[in-house]
Amino acid sequence: MTSPSIQRIPYSAPRDEFINALKKDGCVIVQDFTTLETLEQARQEVEPWLAQEDKRSKVGALNGGTRTCTRLVGRSQTVREKFFSDPLYQDMAEQFLVIETTNWYNEEPSTSTTHPLLSISITMDIHPGAKAQKLHRDDKNHHARHAPAQAYHHNRDMLLGLFVPGCDTTRAIGATRVIPGSHLWGDEKPDFGPNLDKGVIDAELKAGEAFLMLGSLYHGGGEFYQTTGNRMVHIMFMCSGVYRQEEISYLSYPVEDVRTYSKLVQECLGWKQSEPNLGWVDLVSPEALLV
């Protein structure tokens, strides 16, 4: 087996190539994910929200140096319809996060499938002076536990992230730092080396490319070394359908807005119950409230 790296795969390649790269490295770069025009549309939708943010959050891995636009799939139609709803991202989420289980009622088998949900959507924008984030796993929020493994097995992860940068991201402007292969590590103290950079690769992306990452991969936003400019990245994570969503969907996206979204987005926000019997209102699936 070749050593972990970040593979660059064209959007039109067979799905298996993406699946194999994610299993092996925990991450992959998708070439030709979107166009510069679409990125510009998304930027225009998000910029007013970034501009009005006065307080920089220190929640989770955020270190006070990042402007954010939360509730992103509500605030940006482009992010919602073009990036989040992208068939490749949705297929990869289904591939890695779907859970199918057989239970017994007396001796009758009952097999159910739970489909992934949107856990969080947020734009992160860093500027000169922003410091590097500490290396971390995003599935920390769900208290995920990991047995060390030589090879990937189904349902090892419960999060899959999509990063869509608004510009070319380089080391100089804080490209995300990642450790390919670290998704197979256990939960013991990681060895990042004396300079905290052992195995770290800068996920430098061209505008129009996207980055997919499993929730167990160690990573962190990089330092913004340049004295001018900014680095905007639209970030989405889907979780397996039995988990609590990081961003509370029902408070973040009002029902009047959700009614205007596609069925796919409605379902991913949790407006369809997970089988069996999870996420109902008055014992019926909440999609009944959307008509």
176 binds, among ligand AKG, Fe ion, none (CB under 5 to 8 A by kind): ligand AKG
The number of residues that bind ligand AKG (CB under 6 A) is 11
In the complex, what is the shortest distance from the CB of residue 172 to Fe ion, in angstroms, rounded to a whole number? 20
Binding-site size for Fe ion (CB under 5 A) equals: 2
The residue (of 61 and 264) whose beta carbon lies closer to Fe ion is 61
Q: Which of 123, 141, 176, 182 binds ligand AKG (CB under 6 A)?
A: 176
Q: ∠ CA 60-64-65 to the nearest 5 degrees?
A: 115
Binding at 290: pick from Fe ion, ligand AKG, none (beta carbon under 5-8 Å per type)? none
Binding range to ligand AKG, per CB under 6 A, among 1-9, 33-41, 70-78, 218-226: 218-226
In whole angstroms, the minimum distance from the beta carbon of 111 to Fe ion comes to 34
- Residue 139 contacts Fe ion per CB under 5 A: no
108-137 residues in contact with ligand AKG (CB under 6 A) are 124, 133
Residues 188-247 that bind Fe ion (CB under 5 A): none
Strands of 8-10's sheet in order across: 8-10, 27-31, 210-214, 159-165, 231-239, 117-126, 66-69
Exactly one of 71, 156, 219, 272 binds ligand AKG (CB under 6 A); which one? 219
Binding residue (CB under 5 A) for Fe ion from 138, 204, 209, 246: 138
Determine the residue with CB nearest Fe ion.
138
Q: Which is nearer to Fe ion, 86 or 246 (CB)?
A: 246
Q: Which residue's CB is nearer to ligand AKG, number 65 or number 116?
A: 65
Binding mask 43-62 for Fe ion (x = CB under 5 A): ------------------x-
Of 20 and 226, CB closest to ligand AKG: 226
C-beta closer to Fe ion: residue 181 or 279:
181
The residues, ordered by sequence, that sit 6+ positions from 142 with a Cβ below 8 Å of its Cβ are: 158, 159, 215, 239, 243, 244
Nearer to ligand AKG, 115 or 219 (CB): 219
Written in H, E and C, the secondary structure of the chain is CCCCCCCEEECCCCHHHHHHHHHHHCEEEEECCCCHHHHHHHHHHHHHHHHCCCCCCCCCCCCCCEEEECCHHHHCHHHHHHHHCCHHHHHHHHHHHCEEEEEEECCEEEEEEECCEEEEEEEEEECCCCCCCCCECHHHHHCCCCCCCCCCCCCCCCEEEEEEECCCECCCECCCEECCCHHHCCCCCCCCCCCCCCCCEECCECECEEEEEECCCCEECCCECCCCCCEEEEEEEEECCCCCCCCCHHHHCCHHHHCCCCHHHHHHCCCCCECCCECCECCECHHHHHC
Q: Hey, what are 177's tokens? A: 């730092």
Encoding tokens for residue 131?
């410091």
**Residue from the set 25, 138, 204, 267 that interacts with ligand AKG by CB under 6 A:** 138
One-letter amino acid at 132 equals A
Q: Which does 62 bind (CB under 5 to 8 A by kind): ligand AKG, Fe ion, none?
A: ligand AKG
Contacting residues toward ligand AKG, per CB under 6 A:
60-62, 124, 133, 138, 176, 219-221, 233
> Which residues of this protein are in contact with Fe ion, per CB under 5 A?
61, 138
